[in-house]
């Protein structure tokens, strides 16, 4: 069998009440039929499945609301995991994941489960993000940056009885056409992952460029009006000139003080100046040490990120190796070298330790490790970003600290030189001149700091604008490619739907003669040769037929992201006659059995077609009014 990613297979459904299983249904690949009388709980069973997979707005009846938790074992691509969700009428319930089979999950401690909320936050991923990663599906954002969730995807996977038969999507209280269009294109594989990433990059670069332009404009507006020259060359020359003038004035001051016999500043003033000088030295030393430390930490972060990426690659290689090599077989005991006799009739038990071997345990653990590495990678990237920002700030502060230290050192040297009181006026005048010049130097250094910032901003803006030009060109090219894929994808679904309509019994002439099928995800409607309204039973057939066509196209087109899972509830709704329902059931079985791609269809019906009333298709027991799906007693 061929595996197209993503693929979801439901393996087993268990619903618990007071620690006891009240529903336990195993499932298999291909067509699964849940059969039973009206009001016997068929719909309740598939509602539990959809709920465990992330669906919202599930209308549980009073009996279902008495249950505690839903456990659902699924195979996601090739990894087996168990999902658990608390039964509640409250919206947006969290979901817990156990990385293994349901039998192990039922006996596992709470610490072995990982709980995820419905909505993502700054510090916690949503369960939709984790399931998307498990299925190797890229994340998709809708209008305004809101994320497409598993609930939105399940609206095209789960065809329930409550939704009006004219609608393509399962009913939702917060429904928007732009969201439906995004979900439809996403599941059909129309939207390119590259295009989504390019648009995110364009948006981020555009915002960053706008912020940089605003900063540059503010600097020019502030200093341009005052006539200040903020070129780097001019400021360096100004600093050099002022430093020379200070040096000459210092020599003159030293010469005047050399002829004096009076002492300089008082001990109190001298001590205060020493304290300031020490503090300035400590500040500069701390900045330099922190700069060196940050550079070391950033280098370590880069190595750690590289290691995480290599681990992610190694996991992918391990997954491939595991699929080819399987479980290692020992012929001799590695301790005493005694030959080990394998049980030829039991390949599910380890020859060495006699423990039960679970076929999918390695894949499940690989999936768990991939999820944990992804979380570490995101956190490490955030830490490195903070380190780089702090390093940039320190680099900007060091020149100012150096300038402040030099000013204090100059002042200290002046105050240690003796001078004569008759020359006090001259010394004071020279000192004032030196102080004025040093203040100008300090201001020049501050201006140089701003000039350096301005040059960095201009250089950064140039890089971003260059990247934007490339990104927008690539977006245009990928968009053209995407339009071609859109035509192929929609045509595939439309052709499959026409085949299904033609195979229907002759009850609706428009179906038998259907030529043009128009699919409008945004409008949530189907049009057959320009017509939307048909008889009640034909509308139900059309809606289920559309969902079946989606599944069939996903089996034919590997790039579809429809998860190769279809849930059809109430095949004979709308007053559909038994003969027509049997024909439809046989069609579903024929299409399913005729495909060599791994998939699953879960269907509920009151009247099972005789050809399907076998153990090959029927799952669980047949429900009756006396023996309903939920066994509370």
- Residue 311 and residue 378 in one domain: yes
Residue 289 is predicted with a pLDDT of 87
- Give the whole-angstrom CA distance, residue 398 versus residue 396: 6
| Most confident segment among 102-111, 273-282, 298-307, 333-342 | 102-111
Residue 362's domain spans which residues? 231-328+358-471
CA atoms within 13 A on the CB side of 34: 28
Q: What is the pLDDT of residue 322?
A: 65
User: What spatial distance separates the first Cα and last Cα of the chain, rounded to whole Å?
Assistant: 42
In a domain, 459, yes or no: yes
The region of weakest confidence among 133-147, 158-172, 401-415, 429-443 is 133-147
Per-residue pLDDT tens digits for 594-629: 999 999 999 999 999 999 999 999 999 999 988 988
Please report the pLDDT score of residue 145 as a whole number: 45
| 530 and 439 fall within a common domain | no
Q: Which of 60-74, 187-201, 291-305 comes out lowest in average pLDDT?
A: 187-201
Residue 484 belongs to some domain of the structure: no
Pairing relationship of beta strands 565-568 and 158-159 according to DSSP bridges: parallel
Q: Is residue 213 part of a domain?
A: no
Q: Are residues 29 and 154 in the same domain?
A: yes
Other Cβ atoms within 10 Å of 535 Cβ, number: 14
What pLDDT does residue 261 have?
45
Smallest CA-to-CA distance from 514 within 535, 500, 533 is with: 500
Instruction: Specify whether 172 is located in the same domain as 63.
Output: yes
Task: Report yes or no: 143 and 150 within 8 Å, Cβ to Cβ.
Answer: no
In this structure, what token pair is assigned to residue 626?
A: 């006396």
Establish if 102 belongs to a structural domain. Answer: yes
CATH number of the domain that 239 lies in?
1.10.287
Nearest to 549 by CA among 187, 61, 129: 187
Q: Is the pLDDT of residue 198 over 80?
A: yes
Q: Let me know: does 526 contact 517? Beta carbons within 8 Å.
A: yes
Q: State phi, psi for 559 to the nearest 5 degrees.
A: -80, -10
CB 356 within 8 A of CB 270: no
- In this structure, are 523 and 592 located in the same domain? yes
pLDDT of residue 327: 53
Confidence of residue 263 (pLDDT cuts 50, 70, 90): very low
Between CA 185 and CA 535 the distance in angstroms is 29
Confidence of residue 268 (pLDDT cuts 50, 70, 90): low
Q: Please say whether the dihedral angle defined by the alpha carbons of residues 228, 231, 234 and 240, taken in this order, is positive or negative.
A: positive
266: phi > 0 → left, psi -120 to 50 → alpha, else beta; which? beta
Pair 32, 133 in one domain: yes
Q: Is the bond preceding residue 493 a cis peptide, omega within 30 degrees?
A: no
- 269: tokens are 């003033």
Same-domain pairing of 320 and 414: yes
Does 51 share its domain with 181?
yes
- Please give the pLDDT value at position 550: 97
What is d(CA 501, CA 321) in angstroms, rounded to the nearest whole number?
A: 44
Which segment of 74-83, 105-114, 169-178, 337-346 scores lowest on mean pLDDT? Answer: 337-346
As a whole number of angstroms, the distance between CA 405 and CA 412 comes to 10
3-state secondary structure 323-349: HHHCCCCCCECCCCCCECCCCCCCCCE
The Cα–Cα gap between 300 and 272 comes to 42
% pLDDT > 90, the chain: 46
Q: Is residue 347 part of a domain?
A: no
Residue 329 binned pLDDT confidence (cut-offs 50, 70, 90): low
Higher-confidence residue of 441 and 597: namely 597
In a domain, 208, yes or no: no
In terms of average pLDDT, the best of 134-148, 223-237, 547-561 is 547-561
pLDDT digits (tens, 9 = 90+) for 461-510: 899 999 999 999 988 888 888 888 889 999 999 999 999 999 999 999 99
Q: How many domains does the chain have?
A: 2
Mean per-residue pLDDT over the chain, rounded:
85
Among 425, 453, 471, give the residue marking a domain's end. 471
- Under the banding of pLDDT at 50, 70 and 90, the label for residue 423 is low
* pLDDT score recorded for residue 144: 45
CA pair distance 558, 188, nearest whole angstrom? 10
The DSSP string of 539-552 is: HHHHHHHHHHHHHH
- Phi then psi for 334, rounded to 5 degrees? -70, -10
For residue 521, give Cα distances in angstroms to 8, 9, 169, 498. Answer: 23, 25, 8, 18
Same domain, 90 and 16: yes
Examine the domain organization and report whether 444 and 521 are in the same domain.
Answer: no
Using CA atoms, how far residue 379 sits from 197, 385, 560, in Å, is: 20, 10, 31
Say how far residue 190 (Cα) sits from the centre of its chain. Answer: 19
Mean pLDDT of 342-369: 68
CATH number of 19's domain: 3.40.50.300
% of the chain surpassing 70 pLDDT: 87
Averaged over 102-115, what is the pLDDT? 95
Return the DSSP state at 323: H
581-582-584-589 Cα dihedral, nearest 10 degrees: 140
Whether 621 maps to a domain, the answer reads no
Alpha-carbon radius of gyration of the chain:
37
Q: Of the given ranges (344-348, 375-379, 581-585), which has the lowest mean pLDDT?
A: 344-348
pLDDT at residue 45 greater than cutoff 70: yes
| pLDDT level of residue 195 (50, 70, 90 thresholds) | confident
Residue 484: per-residue pLDDT? 85
Sheet holding 600-605, edge to edge: 30-35, 600-605, 565-568, 158-159
- Between the alpha carbon of residue 340 and those of residues 329, 330, 337, 350, 463, the distances in Å are 10, 7, 9, 11, 65
What is the DSSP secondary-structure string of 119-179? S--SS---HHHHHHHHTT----B-GGGPBP-HHHHHHHHEE-SSS-TT-SSPP-TT--HHH
Same domain, 163 and 257: no
Whether the Cβ atoms of residue 160 and residue 51 lie closer than 8 Å to each other: no
Cβ–Cβ < 8 Å for 481, 191: no
Residue 630: inside a domain: no
DSSP 302-318: HHHHHHHHHHHHHHHHH
Query: β-strand 8-17 against 517-520: which pairing, if any?
Result: unpaired
At residue 267, does pLDDT exceed 90?
A: no
Last residue of a domain, one of 424, 452, 471: 471
The model's confidence at residue 19, banded by pLDDT at 50, 70 and 90, is very high
Q: Is the pLDDT of residue 9 over 80?
A: yes
Give pLDDT, residue 418: 43
Least confident of 10-14, 420-424, 517-521: 420-424
Same domain, 133 and 20: yes
């Amino acid at each position: 069998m061929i595996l197209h990613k993503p693929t979801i297979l439901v393996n087993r459904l268990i619903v618990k009440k007071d620690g006891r299983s009240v529903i336990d249904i195993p499932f298999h690949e291909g067509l699964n039929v849940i059969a039973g009388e009206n009001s016997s709980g068929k719909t309740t069973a598939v509602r539990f499945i959809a709920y465990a997979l992330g669906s919202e707005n599930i209308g549980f009846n009073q009996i279902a609301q008495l249950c505690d938790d839903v456990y659902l074992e699924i195979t996601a691509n090739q990894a087996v995991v168990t999902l658990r969700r608390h039964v509640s009428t409250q919206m947006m319930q969290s979901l817990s994941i156990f990385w293994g089979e349901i039998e192990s999950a039922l006996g596992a401690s709470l610490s072995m489960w990982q709980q995820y909320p419905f909505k993502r936050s700054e510090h916690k991923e949503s369960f939709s993000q984790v399931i998307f990663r498990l299925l190797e599906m890229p994340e998709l954002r809708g209008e305004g940056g809101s994320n497409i969730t598993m609930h939105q995807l399940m609206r095209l996977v789960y065809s329930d009885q409550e939704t009006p038969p004219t609608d393509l999507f399962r009913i939702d209280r917060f429904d928007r056409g732009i969201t439906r269009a995004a979900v439809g294109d996403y599941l059909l594989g129309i939207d390119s992952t590259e295009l989504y990433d390019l648009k995110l990059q364009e948006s981020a670069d555009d915002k960053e460029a706008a912020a940089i332009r605003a900063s540059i404009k503010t600097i020019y507006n502030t200093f341009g009006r005052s006539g200040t020259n903020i070129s780097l060359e001019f400021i360096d020359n100004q600093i050099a000139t002022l430093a020379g003038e200070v040096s000459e004035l210092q020599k003159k001051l030293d010469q005047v003080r050399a002829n004096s016999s009076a002492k300089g500043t008082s001990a109190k003033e001298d001590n205060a100046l020493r304290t300031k000088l020490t503090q300035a030295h400590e500040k500069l030393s701390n900045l330099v040490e922190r700069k060196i430390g940050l550079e070391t930490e950033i280098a370590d972060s880069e190595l750690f990120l590289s290691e995480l990426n290599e681990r992610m690659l190694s996991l992918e290689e391990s997954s491939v190796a595991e699929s080819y090599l399987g479980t290692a077989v020992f012929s001799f005991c590695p301790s005493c070298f005694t030959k080990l006799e394998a049980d030829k009739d039991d390949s599910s038990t380890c020859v060495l330790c006699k423990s039960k071997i679970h076929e999918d345990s390695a894949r499940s653990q690989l999936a768990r490790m991939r999820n944990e590495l992804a979380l570490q990678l995101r956190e490490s990237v955030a830490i490195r970003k903070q380190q780089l920002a702090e390093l940039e700030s320190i680099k900007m502060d060091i020149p100012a600290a150096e300038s402040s230290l030099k000013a204090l050192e100059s002042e200290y040297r002046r105050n240690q030189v003796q001078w004569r009181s008759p020359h006090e006026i001259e010394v004071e005048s020279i000192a004032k001149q030196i102080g004025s010049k040093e203040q100008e130097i300090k201001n020049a250094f501050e201006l140089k700091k701003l000039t350096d910032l301005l040059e960095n901003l201009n250089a950064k803006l140039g890089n971003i604008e260059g990247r934007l030009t490339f990104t927008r060109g690539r977006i245009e090219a990928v968009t053209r490619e995407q339009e071609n894929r859109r035509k192929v994808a929609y045509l595939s679904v439309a052709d499959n739907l026409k085949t299904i309509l033609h195979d229907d019994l002759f009850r609706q002439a428009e179906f038998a003669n259907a030529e043009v099928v128009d699919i409008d995800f945004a409008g949530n409607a189907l049009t057959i040769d320009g017509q939307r309204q048909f008889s009640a039973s034909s509308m139900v057939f059309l809606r289920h037929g559309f969902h079946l066509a989606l599944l069939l196209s996903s089996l034919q087109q590997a790039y579809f992201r429809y998860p190769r899972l279809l849930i059809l509830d109430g095949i004979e709704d709308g007053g559909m006659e038994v003969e027509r329902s049997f024909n439809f059931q046989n069609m579903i079985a024929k299409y399913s059995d005729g495909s060599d791609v791994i998939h699953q269809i879960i269907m509920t019906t009151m009247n099972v077609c005789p050809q399907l009333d076998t153990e090959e298709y029927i799952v669980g027991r047949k429900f009756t009014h006396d023996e309903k799906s939920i066994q509370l007693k």
